Chain A
Amino acid sequence: MADERFEGEPLFFDAMFHQKRKKGQWRIVDAPYLEAPVADTHCHVHLLKDPSLSLARAGANGVEFLCDIVDVYEDGSAPFDQMEGWALQGSFKIRQIARGGC
């Protein structure tokens, strides 16, 4: 299960980075400039609130490859069953967030 500390956190429909501030405020932080694409070799995309949006945000920020880590005891078959659908949804969302969200 996703960490309960993050329950209630807003889901930002954009490709930007949001830093948590006091009193429920959020501030946008500039992404570092990278000269080449990168890989996330260890993440649990299926535990995120909106995996398709997370894939889109990753793609929009230059993440070219990722490895989703699945626990055979507690994650079930959902990550395997749903990843193709999340990727397809993400491919539409990436166009929207790359244009600045909606």
Chain B
Amino acid sequence: MPRVRFAVGCHPHNAKHYDDALEKLLLDRLADARVSAVGEIGLDYHYDFSPREAQREAFRRQVRVAKEAGLPVVLHIREAHDDAFSILQEEGFPQAGTLLHCFNLDWAELERWVEAGCYVAFGGPVTFKHADEVRDAASHVPEELLLTETDAPYMTPEPLRGATCGPEHVVFTADKLCEVRGLAFGEERETFLRKLLANAYGLLDREPTPWQRERAEGLGIKELSPTERARAAVAQWRASE
């Protein structure tokens, strides 16, 4: 079974709801030791479900939260890369890391993010038929900053577009990344795939930060032992039936 961690944040679509009360809830959720990142946060000027000023404010505040908590950020940016990059430059990129999720543009855009040390996750778009610029971008990203993802239940990769995406579909994306980087079957691909997995563990499977431990202690949240976690799992299962 896969090891599961969480990222939690206020999506730019919901930025208009981001106020002090929601930020407090976010801080409380971040105290959970299973949380390893703040996200997805950012700017979405394609849908504009929240006013742009509200999006920028919520994004800026959550970058500050992530920095205070010592956690990486997971970014959702759509048609707003200039503004998002400026905000991160002004606030400073989090030391714990920045992950650009579901990248679907070209290397000309991506280059500055990579130079800033951001991780880049490729999902379904790298497999889409008319996305040569995305595949070209994927071929340029340094191996140590490259990640795989799905965005399930959305962004189903080819050849399965039209069906619900699940986390298992990431195998198609990983295979496409091997292809665009021209890797030979066998050792070359294995080394590459293991590096990508190690990148994911390194960025997102981190120990709780001192801030998280302190916040959890303040909230009276206890870290569970393996036995307690197993008991909790059985109780959750029974409750769901």
Contacts and interface: CB of A to CB of B under 8 A. Distances in A.
A101 interface: no
Nearest to A16: B168
A72 B29 contact: yes
A42 interface: yes
Contact of A2 (B153, B169, B197): B153
Interface residues of B, number: 76
Interface of B: 1-11, 14, 17-18, 22, 25-26, 29, 32, 34, 36-37, 39-40, 74, 99, 101-102, 121, 123, 147-154, 159-160, 162-164, 166-172, 174-175, 185-187, 189-190, 193-194, 196-197, 200-201, 203-205, 229-230, 232-237, 239-240
Given A63-B2, A74-B14, A84 B236 contact: yes
Interface string A8-42: 01000001011110000000010111111111111
Q: What 9 A-B pairs are tightest by C-beta distance, nearest first?
A: A85-B236, A39-B200, A35-B190, A32-B175, A42-B149, A84-B233, A36-B193, A73-B14, A88-B233
A50 B149 CA distance: 19
Contact of A34 (B11, B39, B193): B193
A59 to B, nearest CB: 4
Q: Which applies to chain A's interface (DSSP): helix, strand, loop or mixed?
A: mixed
Contact of A72 (B8, B102, B201): B8
Contacts of B3: 64-66
B43 to A, nearest CB: 15
Given A66-B3, A91-B1, 13 more contacts: A3-B154, A18-B160, A33-B185, A38-B193, A39-B170, A41-B148, A42-B40, A62-B171, A67-B5, A68-B4, A69-B9, A70-B7, A73-B10
Given A2-B153, A67-B7, A19 B101 contact: no
A41 B121 contact: yes
B148 A39 contact: yes
Interface residues of A, number: 64
Given A72-B25, A72-B26, A48 B164 contact: yes
B196 A39 contact: yes
Contacts of A89: 237, 240
A29 B234 contact: no
A15 B169 CA distance: 11
A69 B187 CA distance: 32
A3 B186 contact: no
